[in-house]
Amino acid sequence: MGDLIFREEPTAADRSVVRALVEGTGFFYPEEAEVAVELVEERLTKGVRSGYHFVFTERDGIMLGYACYGPIACTQASYDLYWIVVRQDLQGAGLGRALLARAEQRIGELGGTRVYVETSSRPLYDPTRAFYLRCGYREEARLAEFYGPGDDKVILVRALPPPTR
């Protein structure tokens, strides 16, 4: 993966790039792309107080993917992984794993001990669920027809290893 650059602070230009990345995967509905952009805007407006944290990865000034995560309100140390998106033509090249590892590292540094991921049960998401399972997540719950008929919400979780000193 060579000359990848990781950064954590979004810029105003990231709004359109995030939209293009999310739409370009073919996985998400248009309203989901809107939500992805809204999270970037929240962070730009409120900073860390927004509760949204990012990891972006770039090569030669071009964004290849990103992850968005944040603490779950009213919990002591649980975090949601809201988004992990990799440019469609680069999926399977290890960028998702690199973004996830970087996000989990930062969550641990912020005091997080558990990471939750919510995804769809639609067949389109079979590779997504398999990715998380390979990365040490396990299915914790399934909410039947949460998103619509035949589309369950699948909740995966991973307990982070204790921080190394």
| Position 148 in a domain | yes
Local structure of residue 39 (DSSP, 8 states):
H
The string of pLDDT tens digits covering residues 78-133 is 999 999 999 999 999 999 999 999 999 999 999 999 999 999 999 999 999 999 99
As a whole number of angstroms, the distance between CA 130 and CA 139 comes to 11
As a whole number of angstroms, the distance between CA 23 and CA 35 comes to 12
As a whole number of angstroms, the distance between CA 35 and CA 120 comes to 16
Query: Domain of 51?
Result: 5-159
Using alpha carbons only, what angle is made at residue 159 by residues 10 and 91, rounded to the nearest 5 degrees? 50
| Position 100 in a domain | yes
- How many percent of the chain have pLDDT more than 90? 92
Please give the backbone phi and psi of residue 24, each rounded to the nearest 5 degrees, phi first: -70, -15
Q: Is the pLDDT of residue 1 over 60?
A: no
Query: Position of tokens 């090569």?
Result: 59
Q: Between 2 and 61, where is the model more confident?
A: 61
Query: Position of tokens 């921080």?
Result: 163
Q: To the nearest whole number, what is the mean pLDDT of the chain?
A: 95
Query: Position of tokens 């033509």?
Result: 89
pTM of the model: 0.94
As a whole number of angstroms, the distance between CA 9 and CA 91 comes to 23
| Position 165 in a domain | no
Total tally of structural domains belonging to the chain: 1
As a whole number of angstroms, the distance between CA 29 and CA 19 comes to 11
Local structure of residue 25 (DSSP, 8 states):
T
| Position 133 in a domain | yes
Write down the pLDDT at residue 165.
Answer: 65
- Residue 19 pLDDT level (bands cut at 50, 70, 90): very high
Q: Tell me the CATH number at 125.
A: 3.40.630.30
- Residue 162 pLDDT level (bands cut at 50, 70, 90): confident
Indicate if the alpha-carbon torsion angle 127, 77, 102, 86 is positive or negative: positive
| Position 107 in a domain | yes
| Position 44 in a domain | yes
Write down the pLDDT at residue 46.
Answer: 97
Q: What letter represents residue 49's amino acid?
A: R
| Position 164 in a domain | no
Q: Is the pLDDT of residue 155 over 60?
A: yes
